[in-house]
């Protein structure tokens, strides 16, 4: 058993599953790394979770019930998560099946592409139950193959050996799947689990604003936003990414959707530098799309990240035509929605632009935000109608 201090923050009692070392009053003898432990606050049972004294987060809670943690426990959790997704998606051809803490299994990510699964284990405690979890996924989903892609940095911090390879049957390096009736590939050796499913609903919104538009898709990765713009009838899309491999994936997706080569360009460039060049040349677009990677991992970098977002969005506004559209995102969890929106309006002031917000988005339903776990709320997306201030 582990006993919490009397002055702990209410977040644990309200359902937050992370317990730090400075919140623990007493750890009973004999508890080993990876063990399931019962947590008490004074005489009140709080829940059960797995223990790792080598991690910043010493205990991650799995349940608030006094129940046995075994294969059946994980099977119940996975079935519950799957049934939740079925409420929102008529087809689960592509979906995040398990989203860590939001689905009550902190340390586990499971993405489904067609009939293949890509999983990521991020903690020692979940790695200990790896075989049980794999068996549950096979029994419930009958996949054609399961690829495990653990993050090496997380594995090193947590103290387990990461796996990167097929752990059940085998499959292709590029998995074909559809989202919103558009053909995509997930590259299992690419970024994260191979595709960013969290933007699927936000990208779909672009279909409403893209007809006959000249579009630029910055930080395009495999072209999700730009392809949705083309689906909406965009006249031309310029895809920009620093990674040549990302552009190769984009081209594969363009070809798989029979997009004519005269409707797109692929530009291998740093987005910040490319925006400066476009601004200096006076090049303008009807629709500007920005979806950068996270600009900060710790709170110490928050101000720097906001400055980076401001420069990026300021320059994006400059290359957006009067009465054009700007679609901009942030996946930096420590940048809260209010912070991001305030920064955007400051950037608009600095560029003499007026923004009319026409869409506010977060991550897709298969990446649920649990209001008791603020870390699950990370993605911000806005679409603005952009006007020159002198029009008023």
In the β-sheet with 18-20, what is the strand arrangement from edge to edge?
A: 18-20, 57-63, 44-51, 36-41, 2-4, 24-27
pLDDT at residue 301 in the model: 85
| Domain 71-171 belongs in CATH node 3.30.750.80 | yes
Q: Considering the domain 2-63 in this protein, what is its CATH number?
A: 2.30.130.10
Per 3-state DSSP, the chain is made up of helix, strand and coil in percentages (nearest 5) of 35, 30, 35
CA distance 74 to 69: 8
Q: What is the pLDDT along the chain (392 residues), one digit of tens a residue?
A: 899 988 877 888 888 999 999 999 999 999 999 999 999 998 889 999 999 999 999 999 999 999 999 999 999 999 999 999 999 998 899 999 999 999 999 999 999 999 999 999 999 999 999 999 999 999 999 999 999 999 999 999 999 999 999 999 999 999 999 999 999 999 999 888 999 999 999 999 999 999 999 999 999 999 999 999 999 999 999 999 999 999 999 999 999 999 999 999 999 999 999 999 999 999 999 999 999 999 887 778 899 999 999 999 999 999 999 999 999 999 999 999 999 999 999 999 999 999 999 999 999 999 999 999 999 999 999 999 999 986 55
Phi/psi at 114 (nearest 5 deg)?
Answer: 55, -125
In the chain, the DSSP E strands lie at 2-4, 18-20, 24-27, 36-41, 44-51, 57-63, 94-99, 108-113, 116-121, 145-149, 164-168, 174-179, 182-187, 214-218, 236-241, 264-268, 285-290, 320-330, 353-361, 380-388
Residue corresponding to tokens 């965009």: 234
**Structure token digits, residue 44:** 């009140």
Domain positions in the chain are 2-63, 71-171, 175-391
Asked whether 199 and 182 are in contact (CB, 8 A), the reply is no
pLDDT at residue 43 in the model: 87
CA distance 237 to 231: 11
pLDDT at residue 392 in the model: 54
**Structure token digits, residue 295:** 């600009």
Q: What are the residues whose beta carbons fall under 8 Å from the beta carbon of 308, sequence distance 6 or more?
A: 295
CA distance 235 to 3: 62
pLDDT at residue 355 in the model: 96
pLDDT at residue 169 in the model: 98
Asked whether 46 and 40 are in contact (CB, 8 A), the reply is yes
Which CATH superfamily includes the segment(s) 175-391? Vaccinia Virus protein VP39 (3.40.50.150)
């Amino acid at each position: 058993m582990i006993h919490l201090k009397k002055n702990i923050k209410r977040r644990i009692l309200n359902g937050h599953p992370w317990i730090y070392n400075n919140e623990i009053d007493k750890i009973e003898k004999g508890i080993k790394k990876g063990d399931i432990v019962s947590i008490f606050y004074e005489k009140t049972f709080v829940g059960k979770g797995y223990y790792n004294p080598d991690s910043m987060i010493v205990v991650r809670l799995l349940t608030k019930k006094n129940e046995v943690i075994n294969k059946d426990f994980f099977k119940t959790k996975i079935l519950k998560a799957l049934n939740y997704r079925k409420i929102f998606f008529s087809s689960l051809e592509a979906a995040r099946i398990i989203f860590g803490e939001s689905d009550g299994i902190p340390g586990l990510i499971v993405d489904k592409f067609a009939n293949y699964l890509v999983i990521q284990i991020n903690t020692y405690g979940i790695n200990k139950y790896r075989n049980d979890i794999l068996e549950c996924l096979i029994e419930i989903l009958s996949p054609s193959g399961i690829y495990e892609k653990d993050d090496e940095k997380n594995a090193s911090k947590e103290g387990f050996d990461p796996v990167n390879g097929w752990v059940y049957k085998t499959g292709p390096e590029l998995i074909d799947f559809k989202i919103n009736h558009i053909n995509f590939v997930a590259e299992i050796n690419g970024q994260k689990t191979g595709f960013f499913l969290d933007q699927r609903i936000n990208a779909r919104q672009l279909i409403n604003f893209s007809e006959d538009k000249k579009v630029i898709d910055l930080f395009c990765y495999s072209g999700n936003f730009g392809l949705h713009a083309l689906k909406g009838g965009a006249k031309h899309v310029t895809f920009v990414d620093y990674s040549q491999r990302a552009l190769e994936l984009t081209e594969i997706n363009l070809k798989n959707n029979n997009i004519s080569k005269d409707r797109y360009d692929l530009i291998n460039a740093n987005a910040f530098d490319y925006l400066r060049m476009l601004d200096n040349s006076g090049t303008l677009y009807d629709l500007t799309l920005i979806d950068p990677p996270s600009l900060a991992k710790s709170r110490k970098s928050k101000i720097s990240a906001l400055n980076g977002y401001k420069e990026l969005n300021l320059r994006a506004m400059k290359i957006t035509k009067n009465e054009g559209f700007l679609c901009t995102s942030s996946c930096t969890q420590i940048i809260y929605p209010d912070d991001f929106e305030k920064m955007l309006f400051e950037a608009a002031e600095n560029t003499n632009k007026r923004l009319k917000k026409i869409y506010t988005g977060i991550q897709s339903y298969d990446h649920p935000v649990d209001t008791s776990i603020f870390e699950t709320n990370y993605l911000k997306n806005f679409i603005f109608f952009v006007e020159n201030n002198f029009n008023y």
